[in-house]
Amino acid sequence: MQETNEGRAVPGGAAEPVPAVSALSVIEMGATSGGLSADFEAMKVAARSYVSKVVGMDIVTDEDRKAARKIRADLNSKVEAIENARKDAFRAYDAPKEAFKAKCEEVKAVIKEQIAIIDGRLKELDDEFAAARKAALLAEYEAQAPDLISAIPLKRFIEREPALMGRSWSETKAVSKLGQMIATAVSDREAIRAAAPKFATAADKHYCEHLDLSGALAEAKRLADEAEARERHAEQMQREAEDRVARAMAQAKAAEGASAPRRPKSSAPEVREWDFRFRATKAQATMIAEYAKSIGVVSDGIKGVA
């Protein structure tokens, strides 16, 4: 492979210069009112002509490799030039778009300013409505159950029923609904104290936080189950402790008995015959005979004496 006078490697050893002036030398891309424009057909013809001089080139020697690297760098520069021209055209096309957008924003700002004024006024009305509704609800609460407020704040009822503060309900309906909820709360708390007196405090606290009777009773049951489990465990521990003490005492007693000297067995008492005369009725004599028999005394029976 050889290099041309422009530093190009060409096939077959031919030394032909690559055209210096072509559509790739001055890449023209631009933006018009109709969009983007460029003479792509001329650029493709110039690109094919540009690479035709190096198609099929031989890369054999070290000099060929060096020349090929230069050609590759030159071709990459053309690719980069096309990309840069495209970016320039895009920027030129985007500029009027951004200016157009800015003008639209100016017009929209006039309308949005009035929208903001309306929004501000609507918020003022909403705030006034919320304050008046809350005051009406609080007045009802204080009149019906003032002692309950410290345990269940008004906001808890509102969280439970958001419609209390909504415009969809009239003030009369909202106040009436709150009254019903307060009455239910009083009744539910009494039911909790009756159903779970041992754990009424914890269950009531749960109810006041959630306004949920079933949940409060479930909490009481959970606490009762835990207490019962603790009692069973304590009883089991007590039984095991008593068993350990009993076993220890038995072992100590057994050890004491094993270490004490054994006493010699006494000989059997001597059995002799005895005469016993007594005065008694027949019934009494019979009773004495039965007693003697019960304690193992052997006799010929009782005989009366004339």
Mean pLDDT of 149-159: 96
Contact status, residue 302 vs residue 288, Cβ threshold 8 Å = yes
Cα–Cα dist 168/293, whole Å: 106
Length of the chain: 306
pTM tops 0.75? no
| Residues 197-247 pLDDT 10s | 999 999 999 999 999 999 999 999 999 999 889 989 988 988 888 888 788
Contact status, residue 172 vs residue 164, Cβ threshold 8 Å = no
| Residues 10-19 pLDDT 10s | 344 333 334 4
pLDDT for residue 259:
64
Cα–Cα dist 264/149, whole Å: 88
Cα–Cα dist 301/306, whole Å: 16
- Residue whose pair of structure tokens reads 């415009």 in the numeric block: 167
Residue ranges of domains in the chain: 137-247
